[in-house]
Amino acid sequence: MNDRAALELLLEHGPLSRTRLGTLTGLSKPTASQLLARLEAAGLVVSTGTSTGRPGPNARLYAVDPTAAYAAGLDVTPQRIRAAVADLTGRTVGAHELPTPGRRADRPVVDLVADALDGALKDAGLARDDVRHLVVGTPGAFDPRTGRLRYAAHLPGWHSPTLLEDLAAALPMPVAYENDVNLVAVAEQRLGAARGHRDFVLLWNQEGLGAALVFGGRLHRGWTGGAGEVGFLPVPGAPLVRQVAKADSGGFQELAGSQALPALARQLGVADVPTGPRAEVAAALVARAADRADGPHRAFLAAYATRLATGLASLVSVLDPELVVLAGACLTAGGEVLRGLVQAELEELAASRPQLVVGEVRESPVLRGALESALAATRDEVFDTSR
């Protein structure tokens, strides 16, 4: 327990002297010295110099050895597969990206995953055997009862009943799979706006609209892995969508998803609505509206906030979370202006009044969450110094 506590403190604070580590852990100087000697012999910590420039056991600084182990993450979308490798301290040391082939591609998904991972490993100067754990983030979720991907009909090639077994056979490290929005919540909980919070909802709006649910500090995935698929939620103001699995959409997605925002902007008189990929267009519209005070842009942002609050009201009324994190480009682009409008609307639509905050992990949040999840498993493994 002392070893693990010391390693966690070294990760949190960076290089520490024996004296400082003893103070933080509550251990005596001799015990702290023995602990560091044990961890150094195990290859988990290294000396990084001295705090004063003078020799001495108390002045020498120690840090977690970043090369002691590595973890990897993948972020899979219908457009591309992005891979990254991190050292034990969490620093990204290699990255690679591949385009995702269309529906008629003849290359198996297993090969694509292996190629993306190998590209990141090559960038880092590492081999597959150097990686302790890999976490793959995808839209939808793998049903724990059947092992098949659900809620992601738009991800071609990932619905084979043997996919998980094929990937396990092809790769030497343990592979875990997680919903992409859940991984954003992991990133926000460890590095961003949800730090220190054990009960929160993360609302994501980018290519699709979804949510992650965290209770007691742990993700709630649901019986089939589909907890948080709020894009399918029937909401007032949107036509009732039936056969949602075939439509791959639902009321909340149709009301407030990225595909709905260009039409809403035109309806309210916003000029020069751009064209391009829908998530990029929607985020640009939201950002521009948050920066301008003219009538059409103000009306557009207010209407968007009402649509978001309409779906959120159902979530917070049932779940009563402490915090709601707004994440994804179509939400973070509006910044504090949009957050304030959604907060005001939500307070009128729901009896529960959680705090709303804007997500802070903006650069590749799904991939960052995958790395953080893989790092947690890796650290549990290598920090178990009793083995």
Sign for the pseudo-dihedral over CA of 13, 135, 312, 296: positive
The enclosing domain of 305 has a CATH number of 3.30.420.40
Looking at the structure, tell me whether residues 166 and 220 fall in a common domain. Answer: no
**pTM listed for this prediction:** 0.92
The residue ranking higher by pLDDT, 179 or 246, is 179
Over residues 235-271, the pLDDT tens digits come to 999 888 888 877 778 899 999 999 999 999 999 999 9
Q: Which residues contact 95 (CB under 8 A, 6 or more apart)?
A: 82, 83, 84, 85, 120, 123
Looking at the structure, tell me whether residues 173 and 223 fall in a common domain. Answer: no
Looking at the structure, tell me whether residues 135 and 216 fall in a common domain. Answer: no
Q: Counting Cβ atoms within 10 Å, is residue 26 exposed (0-12), middle (13-18) or buried (19+)? A: exposed
| pLDDT score at 58 | 57
Over residues 303-330, the pLDDT tens digits come to 999 999 999 999 999 999 999 999 999 9
Comparing CA positions, the residue from 118, 137, 116 lying closest to residue 128 is 118
User: Which of 148-157, 228-237, 306-315 is predicted with the least confidence, judged by mean pLDDT?
Assistant: 148-157
The pairing of beta strand 131-138 with beta strand 175-179 = parallel
Q: Using an 8 Å Cβ cutoff, are 81 and 74 in contact?
A: yes
Looking at the structure, tell me whether residues 60 and 127 fall in a common domain. Answer: no
Looking at the structure, tell me whether residues 202 and 346 fall in a common domain. Answer: yes
Angle among Cα 24, 25, 29 to the nearest 5 degrees reads 95
Interval 120-133 mean pLDDT = 97
User: What is the spatial distance between Cα 108 and Cα 322, in angstroms, rounded to a whole number?
Assistant: 43
Looking at the structure, tell me whether residues 203 and 337 fall in a common domain. Answer: yes
In a domain, 355, yes or no: yes
Looking at the structure, tell me whether residues 59 and 73 fall in a common domain. Answer: no
**141-147, Cβ contacts within 8 angstroms, sequence gap of 24 or more:** 141/177, 141/178, 141/179, 141/221, 141/224, 141/225, 141/226, 142/177, 142/225, 143/224, 143/225, 144/221, 144/224, 144/225, 145/224
| pLDDT score at 376 | 95
Per the document, the length of the chain is 387
The enclosing domain of 46 has a CATH number of 1.10.10.10
Q: Which residues contact 251 (CB under 8 A, 6 or more apart)?
A: 232, 233, 234, 235, 238, 239, 240, 241
Total domains in the fold of the chain: 3
Q: What is the span of the domain harbouring residue 44?
A: 2-64
Looking at the structure, tell me whether residues 51 and 88 fall in a common domain. Answer: no
User: What is the spatial distance between Cα 374 and Cα 86, in angstroms, rounded to a whole number?
Assistant: 9
| pLDDT score at 157 | 81
* 156 has a pLDDT exceeding 60: yes
User: What is the spatial distance between Cα 110 and Cα 376, in angstroms, rounded to a whole number?
Assistant: 24
Looking at the structure, tell me whether residues 50 and 127 fall in a common domain. Answer: no
| pLDDT score at 210 | 95
| CA 193 and chain centroid, separation | 12
Looking at the structure, tell me whether residues 352 and 277 fall in a common domain. Answer: yes
Interval 362-379 mean pLDDT = 96
Looking at the structure, tell me whether residues 215 and 288 fall in a common domain. Answer: yes
